[in-house]
């Protein structure tokens, strides 16, 4: 900053030379007065403005308030000199906030710099937008930043900054970025040859894809391909090898991105991913002495294990991962222990069996006493996730023991988790009540209201538990230091069910009253109010205590607290009524069972955990909790009419944690999981159409090879082979221009994926060199009847981003096989099938050949091409054609089909009749035959 500005150098030297703060302030005040005077006088050239604004920036950096120089900074941005423009942008980013009025003055200057051919000016403008861009600036300049990102003439370092600027804008103002509209163009940059650009664009795609899964679904294939090239083919420059690990930051981002989507059904993609994960695990099997190499390798490894768990918890890869994790949780390095415990919690949250994790239960429990609190927190999460019916008593008991010495920052979360586990896995009334009361006694202030509310609800709804609960809570309250939450539970339970134990030795009404009342002096007003309600209940069931209780009400009638005073006055009036008065009995009836309510404990725990910019793909808890989370994500968009659910936190939970068989729990709500598929997008571009394209498609429905599409840039041809319900398509894509087609992406979408399965034999290429051809191999399987042909979407970069959607000539007749039939057999089956609805018939105009005759060879070619066997000697008319075929389907089996074609030369008409055991097949085959044979309209 100071290069070439002597005045600035001297000013900085004077500031540094000041021995006391007063001298420093004096020098700064003198300089600020001089700058104000010079700005007021005007007539400053660019150099002087730059020098004075630089002094203002330095003063601001020192921590002094600055109220001058804003307009001069705005003017400097418009300068053509880099040094002046740099100081102007620096001042704007430091001195102004996103809502500053001065920022409106620089929008046009920033837009001009974004449009400039000078890359340095582009970068200065991008920095300013990212640092101080408010909503107004984002709305005004988002399009310009996006254009700079996708421009083929932009330098790599400009693209990187543009991607990160868009990421910053999206995180601050997500509604400003039209994510769905820009999705395909942004994802195409994941194929950029510069890995630095790929890293930045992947960061942007991760943020956008979390909120827009379908539009960004094509990034799944891009991520898999890039991982394959990095890990398997070692396709990267030495610049991006960090201690011999190929671009670990990019690998981690790609592995995380793949976890946002459900596992792909494409066997090719799954195979490639398994190979990638296997290589990563093999490379990380033995640590080296180089700490940096180990850190990079472990970062990639743990994310790869997370992806393996996400893909299939029963795969051999996850078994290998479990062995590695067992080694990592015992590591001497804190970071490795932390990551090992966190990843093992992920495994516990998804795995069908917890046995591999239970083997290391002792090590995990020891981690609760690790010297690092973050490791202790991860150990707590893992124990919570791996708890089940078999080990619940052991884990809960260990957590209760640890609770007494745990960090204060952990205690509230521990209380919630212990309460949830106790309720979820309780196998007896005794254990549940004992554990919860031990928890309330031990945790004290860290027990939230939700915990004791839930205890009261379960005891009230479980008649067999009430007597035992009254005895146990009475014994717990004998402790000299009973916490207020325990007094609340005791007050409620003894008030409702104290009479059940009143005849037992040691639990007389007088002893109950003496114990409870002795605790009231140490409690707050809300607890005392609850105890007053307990006392009025006792007036009804324990007449011998009536005088003592009336005295208590009398004393509380004169307290300052309005709620206590009102309760005491009302209860005093009730207690003073004659003994034969039924009002007291009616008011003090036993509480009825609570209506089915959902536990608020899980909602409290989820709110405590919160969320981050990079959303987790799983939640802490067992497999059931993660399945419920997926259901909740679908249910949150539906209106819910839950009767009897408490307002506030309880409304936020859509599934009760009440795992106790002896408690009333709400009916389980099951919703279909409408998963996103990474191989398809909900928005398909319009199918390209035209006379030639339709003609080529129609011909390919009855031909095995030919041209499917052609324009000035691209030619697509097809060769096919079918046998039974299986088929194979070789698609040849030719680049006709002198530049490469980059970011080449191919996806195939079926209208009914259950009916037709299409997979790539290998990963499609991402680039087609100039004037060359590449082959895509597709495997097709017909499972059941379908009508609509699949659509292949091809996108590529050739100057601009282009997308084509083309129908593939895969129709139901491709899965036919001809059948040889004799005359008797044919007519027997023809009559057996009968007429409508199993018959489809139509009459259409035809064209004659050049000699004016029926074009018999063409008609036979079409029928044979539609995979019917043309039967000779069946029909007495030589011009009629008879055929038979069988449709093969993997799921629905075989469907027979018979055909009769009757052309009329004089009328130039033709009648086609199709009979099939399936009316849908008959109707579809009739249309497929008529289309190529009918005369052009």
* Binding residue ranges: 6-7, 47, 51-55
Candidates 901, 895, 890, 836; CA nearest to 864 is 901
* Alpha helical stretches, state H, 387-407: 392-403
DSSP state of 671: -
Are residues 76 and 46 in contact, defined by beta-carbon separation less than 8 angstroms?
Answer: yes
The CA distance from 890 to 683, in Å, is 29
What is the spatial distance between Cα 84 and Cα 90, in angstroms, rounded to a whole number? 10
Instruction: Name the burial class of residue 274, with classes exposed (0-12), middle (13-18) and buried (19+) by CB atoms within 10 angstroms of its CB.
Output: middle
Q: Tell how far CA 913 is from the center of its chain.
A: 52
Report residue 722: phi and psi, to 5°.
-130, 145
Dihedral (CA of 868, 871, 876, 881) sign = positive
| Cα pseudo-dihedral 605, 608, 611, 612, rounded to 10 | -150
E strand intervals along 808-892: 816-818, 839-845, 869-871, 881-889
Rg of the chain in Å (alpha carbons): 39
Phi, then psi, of 104 in degrees rounded to 5 = -65, -25
> What are the angstrom distances between the C-alpha of 404 and each of 397, 398, 431, 612?
12, 11, 19, 30
Distance (Å) of CA 349 to CA 87, 334, 370, 764, 889: 53, 23, 23, 34, 38
Pairwise CA distance, residues 570 & 927, whole Å: 85
Q: Are strands 816-818 and 893-904 parallel, antiparallel or unpaired?
A: unpaired
The answer to whether the CB of 337 falls within 8 A of the CB of 367 is: yes
- Among 313, 349, 345, CA closest to 628: 349
- Burial (0-12, 13-18, 19+ Cβ within 10 Å), 934: middle
The CA–CA distances, whole Å, from 659 to 419, 458, 663, 821 equal 11, 11, 8, 65
Q: How far apart are CA 491 and CA 468, in angstroms?
A: 15
Within 687-725, strands assigned E span: 705-710, 714-723
Query: Where does 275-405 show beta strands of DSSP type E?
Result: none
């Amino acid at each position: 900053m100071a290069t070439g500005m002597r005045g600035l150098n001297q000013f900085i030297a004077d500031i540094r030379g000041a021995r006391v703060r007063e001298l420093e302030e004096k020098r700064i005040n003198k300089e600020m007065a001089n700058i104000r005077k010079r700005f007021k006088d005007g007539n400053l050239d660019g150099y002087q403005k730059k020098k004075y604004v630089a002094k203002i920036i330095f003063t601001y950096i020192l921590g002094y308030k600055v109220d001058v120089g804003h307009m001069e900074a705005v003017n400097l941005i418009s300068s053509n000199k880099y040094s002046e423009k740099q100081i102007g942008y620096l001042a704007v980013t430091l001195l102004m906030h996103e809502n500053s009025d001065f920022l409106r003055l620089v929008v046009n200057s920033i837009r001009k710099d974004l449009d400039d051919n000078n890359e340095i000016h582009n970068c200065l403008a991008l920095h300013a937008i990212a640092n101080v861009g408010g909503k107004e600036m984002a709305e005004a300049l988002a399009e310009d930043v996006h254009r700079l990102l996708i421009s083929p003439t932009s330098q790599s370092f400009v693209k990187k900054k543009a991607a990160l600027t868009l990421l910053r804008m999206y995180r601050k103002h997500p509604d400003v970025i039209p994510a769905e509209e820009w999705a395909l163009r942004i994802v195409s940059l994941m194929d950029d040859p510069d890995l630095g650009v790929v890293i930045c664009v992947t960061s942007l795609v991760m943020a956008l894809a979390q909120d827009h899964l379908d539009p960004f679904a094509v990034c799944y294939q891009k991520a898999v391909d890039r991982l394959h090239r990095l890990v398997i083919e070692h396709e990267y420059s030495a610049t991006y090898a960090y201690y011999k690990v190929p671009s670990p930051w990019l690998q981690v981002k790609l592995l995380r991105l793949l976890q946002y989507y459900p596992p792909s059904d494409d066997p090719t993609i799954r195979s490639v991913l398994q190979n990638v994960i296997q290589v990563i695990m093999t490379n990380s099997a033995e640590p080296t002495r180089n700490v940096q190499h180990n850190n990079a390798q472990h970062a990639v490894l743990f994310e790869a294990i997370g992806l393996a768990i996400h893909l299939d918890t029963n795969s051999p890869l996850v078994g290998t991962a479990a062995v590695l994790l067992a080694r990592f949780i015992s590591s001497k390095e804190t970071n490795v222990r932390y990551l090992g415990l966190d990843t093992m919690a992920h495994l516990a949250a998804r795995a069908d069996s917890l046995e591999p994790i239970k083997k290391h239960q002792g090590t995990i429990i020891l981690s609760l006493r690790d010297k690092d609190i973050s490791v202790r927190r991860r150990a707590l999460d893992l124990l919570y996730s791996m708890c089940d019916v078999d080990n619940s008593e052991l884990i809960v008991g260990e957590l209760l023991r640890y609770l007494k010495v745990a960090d204060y920052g952990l205690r509230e979360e521990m209380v919630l988790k212990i309460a949830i586990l106790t309720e979820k896995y309780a196998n007896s009334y005794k254990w549940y009540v004992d554990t919860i009361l031990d928890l309330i006694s031990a945790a004290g202030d860290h027990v939230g209201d939700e915990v004791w509310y839930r205890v009261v609800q379960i005891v009230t709804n479980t008649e067999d538990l009430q007597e035992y609960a009254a005895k146990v809570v009475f014994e717990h309250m004998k402790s000299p230091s009973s916490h207020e939450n325990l007094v609340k539970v005791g007050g409620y339970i003894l008030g409702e069910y104290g009479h059940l134990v009143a005849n037992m030795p040691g639990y007389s009404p007088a002893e109950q009253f003496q114990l409870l009342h002795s605790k009231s002096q140490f409690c707050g007003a809300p607890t005392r109010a609850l105890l007053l309600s307990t006392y009025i209940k006792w007036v009804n069931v324990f007449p011998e205590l009536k005088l003592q209780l009336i005295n208590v009400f009398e004393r509380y009638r004169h307290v300052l607290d309005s709620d206590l005073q009102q309760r005491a006055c009302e209860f005093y009036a009730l207690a003073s009524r004659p003994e034969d008065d039924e009002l007291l009995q009616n008011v003090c009836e036993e509480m009825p069972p609570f209506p089915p309510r959902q536990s608020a404990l899980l909602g409290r725990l989820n709110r405590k955990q919160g969320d981050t910019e990079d959303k987790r793909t799983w939640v802490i808890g067992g497999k059931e909790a993660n399945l419920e989370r997926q259901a909740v994500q679908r249910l949150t968009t539906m209106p819910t009419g839950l009767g009897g659910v408490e307002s506030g936190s309880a409304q936020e939970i859509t599934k009760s944690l009440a795992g106790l068989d002896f408690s009333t729990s709400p009916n389980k709500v099951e919703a279909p999981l409408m998963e996103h598929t990474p191989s398809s997008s909900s928005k398909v571009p319009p199918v390209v159409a035209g006379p030639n394209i339709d003609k080529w498609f129609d011909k390919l429905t009855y031909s095995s090879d030919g041209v499917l599409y052609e324009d000035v840039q691209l030619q697509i041809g097809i060769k096919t082979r079918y046998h039974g319900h299986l088929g194979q398509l070789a698609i040849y894509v030719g680049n006709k221009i002198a530049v490469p087609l980059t970011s080449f992406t191919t996806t195939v979408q079926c209208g009914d994926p259950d009916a037709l399965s299409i997979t790539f034999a290998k990963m499609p290429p991402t680039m087609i060199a100039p004037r060359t051809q590449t082959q895509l191999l597709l495997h097709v399987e017909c499972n059941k009847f379908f009508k609509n042909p699949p659509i292949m979407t091809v996108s590529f970069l050739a100057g601009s981003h282009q997308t084509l959607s083309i129908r593939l000539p895969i129709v139901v007749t491709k899965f036919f096989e001809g059948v040889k039939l004799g005359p008797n057999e044919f007519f027997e089956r023809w009559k057996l099938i009968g007429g409508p609805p199993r018959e489809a018939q139509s009459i259409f105009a035809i064209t004659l050949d050049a000699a004016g005759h029926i074009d018999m060879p063409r008609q036979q070619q079409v029928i044979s091409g539609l995979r019917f066997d043309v039967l000779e000697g069946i029909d007495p008319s030589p011009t009629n054609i008879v055929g038979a075929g069988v449709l093969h389907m993997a799921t629905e089996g075989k469907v027979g089909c018979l055909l009769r074609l009757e052309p009329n030369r004089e009328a130039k008409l033709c009648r086609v009749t199709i009979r099939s055991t399936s009316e849908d097949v008959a109707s579809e085959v009739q249309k497929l035959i008529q289309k190529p044979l009918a005369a052009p309209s």
